Amino acid sequence: MVMRKRSDNGSRGRRIANTPRVPNSARGKRSTRKKKDDMRAFDLLATVAETLLDDQDNSANAPNASGAAKAKNKKAVKEEHYDEILPLKNMVTEKDSRSGCALGSDGTCAFPRQANNRSADNSSTRNEVGSVLESLTVKSNMLVRDSLVSRARPCETSRGPGIIPEFEAHGICHPGSSSSAEAEQKHQAEQVIRTQEDGHAVVLHSLLDSADLDGRPPALGEVQYIANREDDENSSGCTHPSTTGDKGCKPQYLGNHRIRKLLASKVRKAADNKIYGGIPSKSSKLNLCSKKIPATRQKMQRTIFKKKKLAHRATSFAKEMLNEARGTSFSTEGRNKSCGSDNYHVKLRIKSFNIPELFIDVPENATIGSLKRTVMDVVNSIIQGGLRVGVLLQGKDIQDDNKTLRQAGICHDKKLNNIDFTLECEGGQDSPSGVVIPEHMDLLGADVVEPLARVKCEEPFPETGGDDNQQLTPPYRSRSLSDLYSDVHPVEMASQDASASSQAIVPVAPSDDGALAIVPHCRPRRTEIGQRRTRTPFHVDEVEALVDAVELIGTGRWRAVKMHAFDHADHRTYVDLKDKWKTLVHTASIAPHQRRGEPVPQELLDRVLAAQAYWTEHQQDKPPRGKAALPAICPA
DNA sequence: GTTAGGG
DNA sequence: CCCTAAC
């Protein structure tokens, strides 16, 4: 029987557009598919919170230990390449020098902004930020009524602490003790499942809360990061709507739509595979999210048609799912403490957290308790690898850990509604060859769609895979634009490393005791990516570069456009450029008030229309590259 | 592998 | 952004 625990985050975003809503296309076409994918909230956030607390404790509550922590964390933290460049720069220059055409005649750097942004990063220091997250409160309204499983698991990962350092790097300290105790209390009532790991406590609420089984909206754990300790005591108590109630706070569903949608695509696919794919007749499906999978699925034919393909892709998309996990619904409150110019504190609150869906095979005769346990085990296993926390501001990944909150734009006096966190599992077994696995741990492998027989890894648990201390140097780090545009989860640039294996968890047949055994599953190579890329809105500079290129090269030669203006922007494929152009043309043709996203200067839009008109008119005589083909439409 | 379009 | 058909 195949059971799915789905917590659609809906957003991967590595990605991530902080845009609370999905793109037009997504809303139209995809949203429908996602509607059913109600989030199965999962208190991973709680786990994270706990982890943070413990880590804090381990670090002797030394607020200034960030240095050490940071150093330690460096391995697991993305490498920062701020000296990356502006791919379009050359292009612009070239262009400018090239023809009399006014294209880009201004000669401005295509990415002035980015260039500027990079200045301070490394120079900035971690401790500069006055903003300190002094307390962290974890709350959850998820109640586990049934058998709770508490298990202590030996920790394996050496990088478990990954998360904390990230926060510390941002000048965030976790004073912890008091808050920790508080969180502890709350969780007690909730029967939290805890896993100790390398000093990190991983708290997991039952994944299979009644909500899931009942089809009711999932409860979401809530974690608060409160900057001001003073306020902490106060706010922690009742500022959290999702408290279990022990403090009088009412549970509240605070799911983040964005998050849910990010994974929706993959999840849906997975669902398709599971539901329509080959599920052993002997097995009965237990769909915890049945309501999400209506009997009549939209585009059924299409889905079925894609089944086979998806089956293959499932192997890869599953890997990515965990990456989708992210906290959202971030709220902040600025506090002006004392006075120092840098004494502003930022209060942050993560209202919800979700993780991607899980695929678990369980026997029909399995008990609910065992089911829960199974899920818990899976999650625990996944989390054991540690989590990496990323900070996203307006959809852009703030990768410079040295940046202060202020520098990053996270100021008490600024709108912080666009801040997101990304949580990624760092654990995972190394590839057999010992190759570093830049990818994050997977929740599941492709094989999940297959019968249990496909389980390949027999190791009890990924604990043994702790040798991957290697840097998780994301492949995308080498990209230029990606650095600029916060491609936090560069699935598309996933390493082609076939040897990479991850700890996809694949529950196996029930063991003698009836307990469900879960074994890590070798992660399939990541070449096949089933996950939707993170939406990375085009910046005006990119739009300008695109317009320049199209004016010069024309429409219909997107590869050339790509090579010309986005050659180093790995996250922009020529298809992307083509699509962007399409949207630009559309944008230019609609009323300004109907436009969304980052405003595009009218001047650019005018050029878009002009170029579009020109090339539509001259499709037959597209001049070879290099020719000044558009003298007529060159604005300047 | 590209291009063009629908979704 | 994704997916595909049609080069």
Quick check: A158 and A469 in contact, CB under 8 A? yes
Reported confidence tier of residue A594, pLDDT bands at 50, 70, 90: confident
Instruction: Give me the mean pLDDT over the A353-360 stretch.
Output: 55
CA distance A58 to A64: 13
* % residues pLDDT > 70 (chain A): 14
**pLDDT at position A583 over 80:** yes
Rg (CA), chain A: 25
Q: Where are the domains of chain A?
A: 2-80+127-522, 538-621
Averaged pLDDT score across all residues of chain A? 46
Reported confidence tier of residue A561, pLDDT bands at 50, 70, 90: very high
CATH of domain A538-621: 1.10.246.220
Q: Of the ranges A240-244, A330-334, A630-634, which one carries the lowest mean pLDDT score?
A: A240-244
CA distance A315 to A530: 8
Cα dihedral sign, A259-A260-A261-A262: positive
CA distance A225 to A132: 9
Highest mean pLDDT, choosing among A23-32, A46-55, A69-78, A425-434: A46-55
Quick check: A49 and A394 in contact, CB under 8 A? no
* % residues pLDDT > 90 (chain A): 7
Per-residue pLDDT of A88-145, as tens digits, reads 333 333 333 333 333 333 333 333 233 333 333 333 333 333 332 222 222 233 322 3
Question: What pLDDT does residue A547 have?
Answer: 92
Instruction: Give me the mean pLDDT over the A252-276 stretch.
Output: 37
CA distance A80 to A62: 25
Highest mean pLDDT, choosing among A78-87, A421-430, A502-511, A614-623: A614-623
Q: Of the ranges A86-95, A181-190, A263-272, which one carries the lowest mean pLDDT score?
A: A86-95
Cα→Cα distances A366→A166, A435, A508, Å: 40, 38, 12
Residue whose C-alpha is closest to residue A530's, from A314, A381, A368: A314
One-letter amino acid identity for A478?
Answer: S
A234 touches strand C (CB under 7 A): no
CA distance A526 to A322: 13
Per-residue pLDDT of A479-527, as tens digits, reads 333 332 333 333 333 333 333 333 333 333 333 333 332 323 333 333 4
Q: Which nucleotide is nearest to A579 (CA to C1')?
A: C1
Q: Is A486 left (phi over 0), alpha (psi -120 to 50) or beta?
A: left
**pLDDT at position A574 over 90:** yes
A535 touches strand C (CB under 7 A): yes
**pLDDT at position A462 over 60:** no
Per-residue pLDDT of A1-51, as tens digits, reads 333 333 333 333 333 333 333 333 333 333 333 333 333 333 444 444 444
Quick check: A389 and A163 in contact, CB under 8 A? yes
Distance A302 CA to C5 C1' (A): 15
Question: What pLDDT does residue A624 have?
Answer: 40
Strand order in the sheet with A222-226: A135-139, A222-226, A344-354, A326-336
Quick check: A16 and A395 in contact, CB under 8 A? yes
Question: What pLDDT does residue A414 have?
Answer: 58
List bases in chain C with any atom under 7 Å of a protein Cβ.
1-4
Q: Select the more confidently predicted residue: A375 or A431.
A: A375
Residue whose C-alpha is closest to residue A443's, from A430, A453, A428, A454: A428
**pLDDT at position A535 over 80:** yes
CA distance A139 to A241: 9
Cβ neighbours around A339 below 10 Å, total: 8
**pLDDT at position A569 over 80:** yes
Which window residues (381-410, chain A) lie with Cβ within 7 Å of strand C?
none
Question: What pLDDT does residue A585 have?
Answer: 92
A71 touches strand C (CB under 7 A): no
Cα→Cα distances A153→A123, A156, A462, A504, A612, Å: 40, 9, 11, 18, 61
Strand order in the sheet with A286-287: A286-287, A2-5, A358-361
Question: What pLDDT does residue A363 have?
Answer: 62
Question: What pLDDT does residue A181 have?
Answer: 40
Which residues, other chains included, contact A2 with Cβ-Cβ below 8 Å and sequence gap of 6+? A274, A279, A283, A285, A286, A287, A359, A360, A361, A362
Token pair of A619 as six digits: 């499709």
Cα dihedral sign, A602-A608-A611-A613: negative
Token pair of A49 as six digits: 């919170």
A305 touches strand C (CB under 7 A): yes
User: Which residues have CB atoms below 7 Å from chain B, the nucleic strand?
Assistant: A 25, 28-29, 555-560, 574-575, 578-579, 582
Per-residue pLDDT of A389-412, as tens digits, reads 656 666 556 666 666 666 666 666
Q: Select the more confidently predicted residue: A390 or A474.
A: A390
List bases in chain B with any atom under 7 Å of a protein Cβ.
1-7
CA distance A88 to A85: 9
**pLDDT at position A381 over 50:** yes
Question: What pLDDT does residue A572 have?
Answer: 92
**pLDDT at position A262 over 90:** no
Specify which residue's alpha carbon is closest to the C1' of nucleotide B2. A559
Partners of A336 in the beta sheet? A344
Question: What pLDDT does residue A385 have?
Answer: 53
Which residues, other chains included, contact A510 with Cβ-Cβ below 8 Å and sequence gap of 6+? A362, A363, A365, A366, A370, A516, A517
A479 touches strand C (CB under 7 A): no
Highest mean pLDDT, choosing among A19-33, A48-62, A169-183: A48-62
**pLDDT at position A379 over 50:** yes
Highest mean pLDDT, choosing among A169-173, A246-250, A378-382, A549-553: A549-553
CA distance A561 to A566: 7
Reported confidence tier of residue A533, pLDDT bands at 50, 70, 90: confident
Q: Select the more confidently predicted residue: A304 or A386.
A: A386
Which residues, other chains included, contact A410 with Cβ-Cβ below 8 Å and sequence gap of 6+? A131, A332, A346, A391, A393, A416, A419
CA distance A361 to A516: 9
Per-residue pLDDT of A191-243, as tens digits, reads 333 333 333 333 333 333 333 333 333 333 333 333 333 333 333 333 333 33
Cα→Cα distances A83→A48, A329, A494, A539, Å: 32, 32, 22, 19
Q: Of the ranges A51-60, A350-359, A492-501, A565-574, which one carries the lowest mean pLDDT score?
A: A492-501
Q: Is A191 left (phi over 0), alpha (psi -120 to 50) or beta?
A: left
Q: Select the more confidently predicted residue: A394 or A314.
A: A394
Question: What pLDDT does residue A371 have?
Answer: 67
Question: What pLDDT does residue A324 have?
Answer: 38
Residue whose C-alpha is closest to residue A522's, from A417, A446, A592, A628: A446
Q: Which nucleotide is nearest to A583 (CA to C1')?
A: C1
Distance A576 CA to C1 C1' (A): 8
A309 touches strand C (CB under 7 A): yes
Distance A629 CA to B3 C1' (A): 21
